[in-house]
Each structure stands twice: as C-alpha cells, then as structure tokens.
Structure 1
Amino acid sequence: MARHAEPAPLLARRRDLREEGFTDRDLARAVTAGTLLHPRRNAYLPMGVPVDTLDAVSIGGLLTCTSELRRAGVFVMERADLDVHLPEHASRVPGIPRPVRRHWGRLVRRPHPSATSVEPLDAVACAVRCQSPRAAIASIDSALQRGTCTATTCGNCSARSPGGLLPLVDGRAESGPETLVRLILRALGLRYEVQVWISGVGRVDFVVEGWLIIECDSEEFHSDWEAQRRDRRRDQAAAARGFAVYRPIAEDIMWRPEEVVAAIRGLVLGAAGGALSRRVA
C-alpha cells in the first residue's frame, strides 16, 4: 500500500496575517518567542518546518529536485546538499552558509502562491535529470509507491528523460534498493518475480529463477535482534520449502553493486550451470 507524503508547508505573507487580525507587534513577539519563523521580508513559516525548506525560502526560492523528494520521503541516491528553484527574473540571490544547487528552468506546473516547494511533477522531473539512470528509476519507483505522483505524471517524467526510462519503472518496489536489485536481475537476464507471497514464509522481495529468494535489507527495519530473529526464522521456513535466501544490505546495493552482482551470479551459476551459466556469464 502506498504511503502518502507529507504536504509541503505553506508560506504566510505579512499582509495575509494582518488580514487575519495579527498586528506587526504580534508578529514581532511571535518571532522573538520562536513560535513563528521569519526567513525573509514579509514571509513567515510555522515552527518545525524542515531546515531545507527554511533555507530555500530564505533565499527567495522553492525546494526542488532531490531536496524536495527527500523532504517528501521519496528515495534519492545522488543528492546535492540543497536544491533550490529560483524565479527566472531573480538576479541577486542572498548566500547561505551551505552548498546550494540552483535551478532556473521553467516549471511545468505553476506552484501555489504560498508554496515552499515546486509541484511533485517538477521535483521528480528535475531529480531524473540530476541523477544517474539507475538512481532516477529508483526515485520514480519510490514516488509512485508513496503516491507523490501518479503513473501518468511519473511516466511523463521518465519519457522525457535521456534514453527513456519508462519501460524500467515499476511502482511495486517498496524501497530504492529493491529497484536497484531489480535492475541488476534484469541486466543479468534472469527470470524473477517481485513481491511474491510464499505460504509459511510471507511476502518476499524477489523470487529468482523459481528458487532463489532475494530480500533487500536496510538498517531501518532489520537492525535489532528481534527483527533479525524474525528474518532468520523466515529464511528457515523458506529453506524447508526448497528456497535459498540471499540478503544483500542496502549500502552494498547502492554503493558496491559489483559485489551484489558477483554474489547473485555465483549463486545462480553454482546451482544451475549449463544453459543458465551461459546466459549470465
């Protein structure tokens, strides 16, 4: 089931707050007390907004690209410290004490006048351009899974990307590493199924060639002993049903994919040989 992203916070203009009955003295007191943020002239934000949003607004821009996707809980792999979209007419942009990647292109969708972020379609499209193809596919899959964008809008983003990523997109992936493993399996020419329910075991990320289960483990869900014990008992139940299990960790999938490729190739070649060996050698 898709997990919907938190909406981006909205900016409050001084004139709007005055129309609601706030005086300039009220606003000054709230800022001094720390219950209201004042990132730039005539612009206010509620307490608790993400630092990235605050910094983007402070220089007159909107959060975009990998920074906006990260705020929305979408997987990004290759990211700048802060991505900010600036108006085309902006000439002098104040500096802030952190690296900023500035984006000036025309947006596909006009943001709300009080928006602090670009629309999801523009954030995804920008992240597709700024990441490698495999990272871009993982971000699109994640955006679909979280409901950040629809199949149509994400499809439009991938269709406009270099080389066309649309045939490789699959919103069933529940994490970025799952997408990356799926791309590895596809590149190796292996038969695989995703999100498979196995009686007595439960749902697994992949079943490869009908006998190899691959589960993509991350620290978030597999770090404590209780989670590891549950995983090992699932693996034991899978073994009793004739399955082997391989659990690559997320950091290897993302940053050392050649080791994951070697492991999968070794498992498949060692078990099958023959015609299958020639397919993945």
Structure 2
Amino acid sequence: MSRHLALLQWVRERNGVAHTSAARAAGFSKLDVARAVELGLLRRVRRSWVVAPDADPRRAAAAAVSGRTTCVTQAVLLGLWVPNHDGVHVAVASNAARFDAAGLVVHWGAGPAPVAATSNEDPLVNVLFHAARCLPRTEAMVVWESALRVRLADAAVLQAVQWGSPAARELADAASFLSDSGLESRFIAGMRALGVAVRQQIWLDGHPVDVLIGERLVVQLDGFAHHRAADRRRDIAHDARLRLRGYTVLRFDFQQVLFDWAYVEETVVLAIAQRLHVAAR
C-alpha cells in the first residue's frame, strides 16, 4: 500500500479527521500529508487539520475551526437521545480567532476535563458540561439521562466531578434520581419526612402502582424516559379504571419531584387533608 493510501486509512480509523501533528507522530511526513491532499485523498480544512472525503460533516466542521464536537452534536455521535437542535455545536479554545462561525453553535467555556489540542471531539464529561450550560434544564437532563441509561456515565462519578458550573452541578446532584427507581426513592423519602406511611408497587386492577397512601390515594411517578404514545394511552386508561373503582390518582413527573418538591408535597398533603386516602364507609 502506498504511503498516501496508508495515511488515508489511518485518518479514516480516526473518524475521518486528524491533526497533522498526530499524523507526523504516527510516522507520516509533511510531504505525505501534502501529497495526499494534492491527490484529493484528503482535504485540508485548516492549516493543521485534514479530513477524509467521507468524513462526517459535523466532525469536519469542528476541525475547520480547530474545535471539537460537543454538547448535543457529540451526544448524537455517541448515540445518545437529544432534543431537536440547530447547528453544529463545537467547543473552541478561549483564544480561538479568525474562523467562520456560520452554521455553528460555538462553546467557549472550558469543560472540567482537559482535552488534547489534537482531539476532534470532547470527552463525555465536557459534553454534559456544555449541555447543562447550553440547553434548558429539562432538555439538558434528556442528554444526561441518556448517558446514564446506556451506561456511558455513572451517577456517583458525575457527582464527584468539580463542574465549575451551577447548572451542571444541579444536574449532577439530581443524576442518582433520574431512573424510575431513583425517582420513587426521592418521593418516598419526602413522604417519610412528613410522617406519611406509604406502600410501594402495590397491584391494583392487574397492574402495579408506584405508591399507595392509605387505602385509596394512588401516586404515579412518570420517570424521565419519554413514553411512547401507546404507553401513555395505557397509563391514562389505567388511571381511569382506578378512578372508577374509587381511587384518587395523583401523577407527578420527574421535573416536579426533583425540582418542584414544594408543589408535590402540598398536593399530597391537601389530598390527605381531604381524606382522599381513606375508603368511603
């Protein structure tokens, strides 16, 4: 295999994008790079960055500004669920200058993890950092929860990171409650602090309910995972059947349980004050 084809293969093995200093460290000369560019095997998008013809355009766009894919763009490349978004999100050095930002969402802040100048993508911890600062809290949590769900991140590790960002710190503190079981644990702890006795995973009408207070007050907790339409219809149908059987059903989502506990507490307390937890005699 010629040097130029070997270089092309080497670049493709690195997601189709490479810093020329990394190529030299791998044994390719400046002449090898220049000749590959001349032959059209590689494209120089910035003085020290080359890309393969079939490189992902988002990675190429980051290389063209000497940056790294980050935030929702890198989250997509990692296979995470992300909200709808526009533009390619790139992280650049604080002293970056003289680049065309058209079509880009530029992140200037440095994440908590150091990154090599030859890297074309942010590490996950920085991706989460930028998502927390860039997106509305609920949408940022989508990215964080997805990383936890596919086990690219660990809640305990995220809590230990020195984030340097109030938004990221808040999400890291909430990370252990993002699963359905974690959300339920948070609710149970809040109820016990009030002295309210609860029972968990009680079967009613052929299905388990998250929490039963007394004899007739059902609390359902919608986990962070987005339900499919069919799942949502099933939940609504089950709630309706429980109401027809004399139960009161309160349903809270993760946002309320984690970030609006006062509302959740007030609603449950008022329901108990109305004796909705007691069966009619």
Which TM bucket (shorter chain)?
0.5 to 0.7
* TM superposition shift of 1:62: 0.3
> What is the rounded CA distance, in whole Å, between the counterparts of 1:152 and 1:217 in structure 2?
18
Over residues 56-115 of structure 1, what are the superposed CA-to-partner deviations in whole Å (9 max), with x where a residue is unaligned? Answer: 22222101234333443445669774332113443322333x2523315375222483x3
Considering only CA atoms, is the larger Rg found in Structure 1 or Structure 2?
Answer: 2
Contact 1:212 1:246 in 2 (8 A): yes
> What is the rounded CA distance, in whole Å, between the counterparts of 1:275 and 1:233 in structure 2?
24
Q: RMSD value over aligned CA atoms?
A: 5.5
1:272 corresponding residue in structure 2: 272
> What is the rounded CA distance, in whole Å, between the counterparts of 2:131 and 2:161 in structure 1?
10
**CA 1:22/1:247 → structure 2, altered by over 3 Å: closer, same or farther?**
farther
TM-score under structure 2 normalisation?
Answer: 0.55
1:1-281 equivalent positions in 2, closer than 5 A: 9=15, 11-12=17-18, 15=23, 19=28, 24=35, 28=39, 39-40=45-46, 42-45=49-52, 47=54, 49=56, 51-74=57-80, 81-96=87-102, 98-105=103-110, 108-111=113-116, 113=118, 115-131=119-135, 136=140, 139-157=143-161, 160-162=164-166, 164-165=169-170, 166-170=172-176, 172-173=178-179, 200-201=206-207, 206-207=210-211, 209=213, 211-215=218-222, 222-223=228-229, 268=268, 271-274=271-274
2:151 aligned partner, one-letter code: G
**CA 1:89/1:271 → structure 2, altered by over 3 Å: closer, same or farther?**
closer
SS in 2 for 1:43: strand
154-163 vs 63-72, which deviates more? 154-163
Unaligned stretches of 5+ residues in structure 1: 1-7, 32-36
SS in 2 for 1:143: helix
> How many residues are paired up?
241
TM-score under structure 1 normalisation?
Answer: 0.55
> What is the rounded CA distance, in whole Å, between the counterparts of 1:249 and 1:47 in structure 2?
43
* TM superposition shift of 1:144: 2.4
> What is the rounded CA distance, in whole Å, between the counterparts of 1:228 and 1:133 in structure 2?
23
> What is the rounded CA distance, in whole Å, between the counterparts of 1:239 and 1:57 in structure 2?
58
231-240 vs 64-73, which deviates more? 231-240
> What is the rounded CA distance, in whole Å, between the counterparts of 1:167 and 1:249 in structure 2?
18
> What is the rounded CA distance, in whole Å, between the counterparts of 2:248 and 2:53 in structure 1?
51
2:9 corresponding residue in structure 1: none
SS in 1 for 2:113: coil
Contact 1:64 1:126 in 2 (8 A): yes
**CA 1:216/1:124 → structure 2, altered by over 3 Å: closer, same or farther?**
closer
**CA 1:59/1:240 → structure 2, altered by over 3 Å: closer, same or farther?**
same
Unaligned stretches of 5+ residues in structure 2: 1-13
SS in 1 for 2:122: coil
> What is the rounded CA distance, in whole Å, between the counterparts of 1:53 and 1:208 in structure 2?
50
> What is the rounded CA distance, in whole Å, between the counterparts of 1:73 and 1:90 in structure 2?
28
% identity of equivalent residues: 17
Higher RCO, Cα 8 Å, sep 6+: 1
Over residues 124-161 of structure 1, what are the superposed CA-to-partner deviations in whole Å (9 max), with x where a residue is unaligned? Answer: 22333344556555544443223232334411347643
> What is the rounded CA distance, in whole Å, between the counterparts of 1:207 and 1:46 in structure 2?
56
**CA 1:100/1:240 → structure 2, altered by over 3 Å: closer, same or farther?**
same
